[in-house]
Structures are given as structure tokens and as C-alpha cells.
Amino acid sequence: MSENIENKEAEEKKAEVKVEENVTNKKKMKRRTLLVILAIVIFLLGSLIVYRAEYLETLEIGEGYEEVFNQNVKYKLCIGAINFVCIYFLVCITNRMIKKGLKKFFDEDKKEMPKLPGKSLALIIGLITSLVISNLFLYKVILFTNTAWFGQTDPVYGVDLGFYMFQAPLIRTIALLWTNYYNYAYNIYSCILHYSF
């Protein structure tokens, strides 16, 4: 009889702990949701302010430059969108691989695996990096897409000199980006994941 009472008390305590964990998880989800919404709002407001300032600056130069400004905005949006999609999926894939790697350790300890802030973190990192990268790449992409050939070749490599003026800066920037900047981003990402537990 006393064993049944102790079992019921233990089950009640487990139920209370699960209820507390559910409440804590809901609070964390609300915080994450608010953080993501706040990041999106800040991103949109900042982008709108910068767009308006650049537009007014272009009008100060002359109304004939509006077409150039609109073309630059199109380039920037395309670069930012492509970069956002790439970073978002890279972070999501990395997060999945981290979950798979950690799952066996949590299973061995017979603990429930905590929910990682995967998609919200990927969204925020994607927004920040796409903003930075679109500004970094804009003029290099414009040069790359408007390549002009000089008709003179480099005596060492046999490449037209226009390659060095118009295409090489973008290729150098991409190589530098993959070797340095993404390493920094993943270090920051791993720190965020480490402290989110």
C-alpha cells in the first residue's frame, strides 16, 4: 500500500516537473519569436531609412540618375536575397548536423535534448550577413556584369586586361569571404549555440 502511495507521489512530481518544463519552453519560444520579430522590424526600418537617404541623395545629384539608382537597388536586392537564402540554408543544415551529433550523447545520458534555436537563429544570421554582404558585393557585381574588354592581353597569363579590372575583384572578394568571413560567422554561431543551452 505504501509503495503505491510512493509511486503515485513520484508520478505526480514527474507530472509537475513536465508542466514546469512546458511552461519554461513556452516562455523561451515567446522570447525567440519576439526576438525574431524585433530583428525583422529593425532590419526593415533600417533598410527603409537607408533606401530613403540614398534616394534623396541621388535626387540631389540630379533626376537623371534615378535609373542608375534603381538599377543599383535591384542589384543590391538580388545579392541580398541570394546571400540570405544561402546563409539560411547553410545555418539550418549545420544546425541539423549539430542536433544529430548531440542526440547520441543525450540518449546515452537519458536526458531530453533541448530545442536549439535553429530557424530563428538562421533567420537573424541570414538577415545580418545579407545586409553586410550586399553592401560589400554591390559595386563588384556591377563591375562584373558590365565587363569591358581592352583588347590587350597580359603577357604572363594571356588574359585580357579587362579581366583584372572588372572580374578579378569579385572573384577575390568571394574567395576572401569563404576563407575568412564565414569562419568568423560560424565561430559566432557556435558561441551562440553553446550559450543557448
pLDDT of residue 104: 80
Find cell 551562440 and name the residue: 192
Model confidence at 29, pLDDT cuts 50, 70, 90, reads confident
Which whole number is the average pLDDT over 102-124?
77
Model confidence at 6, pLDDT cuts 50, 70, 90, reads low
Helices (H), the chain: 2-61, 66-108, 118-145, 161-162, 168-176, 182-196
First-to-final CA distance of the chain:
41
Which whole number is the average pLDDT over 70-99?
85
Mean pLDDT of the chain: 80
pLDDT of residue 119: 80
pLDDT of residue 89: 87
Task: Identify which has the larger pLDDT, 32 or 160.
Answer: 160
Which whole number is the average pLDDT over 21-45?
81
Cα dist. 194→31, 87, 128, 186, 187 in Å? 18, 20, 20, 12, 10
Is the pLDDT assigned to residue 161 strictly greater than 80? yes
Instruction: Count how many domains the chain has.
Output: 1
pTM passes above 0.85: no
Find cell 519576439 and name the residue: 34
CB neighbours of residue 70 within 10 Å? 12
Which whole number is the average pLDDT over 42-50?
88
Model confidence at 181, pLDDT cuts 50, 70, 90, reads low
pLDDT of residue 193: 66
Phi and psi, residue 158, nearest 5°: 70, 25
pLDDT of residue 190: 72
Find cell 500500500 and name the residue: 1
Which residue range(s) make up the domain with 163? 2-196
Question: Residue 159 is which amino acid?
Answer: V
